[in-house]
Amino acid sequence: MLGDAGVDEAEAASFAAPAALGGTSVTLHVFVPDVDGLAKRAEAAGAEILQPPTDMFHGDRTVILKDPSGHIWVFLTHMEDVSNEELRRRLAAFAE
């Protein structure tokens, strides 16, 4: 569960929403069965797409979203198993 700071918590300075801090220091990574469908639903519900669904070098299809409260989410769908050797090769190519 992820929740935003309520008025009482904010006044007690025990919690602060990302918007109040100018951003967030936490990014949540969650594997889901259909990252493309999730991205469409999230955007329709008010999330901002920071990186559209993309096939990544590590074998996952990934989208990065910011929800209306300022929380950053990385949702992934596993597409393929990648050997360590292939991962190193892809990472090197990705970094170029």
Predicted TM-score of the model (pTM): 0.80
User: Domain residues of the chain, as ranges?
Assistant: 24-95
The mean pLDDT of 20-42, rounded to a whole number, is: 91
Compute the distance between CA of residue 71 and CA of residue 29 in angstroms, rounded to an integer: 11
The predicted pLDDT at position 8 comes to 63
pLDDT in tens, 56-81: 999 999 999 999 888 899 999 999 99
CATH of range 24-95; options 3.30.720.110, 3.40.640.10, 3.30.540.10, 1.10.10.10? 3.30.720.110
**How would you classify the pairing of strands 60-66 and 72-78?**
antiparallel
17 vs 49, higher pLDDT: 49
| Residue 39 pLDDT greater than 60, yes or no | yes
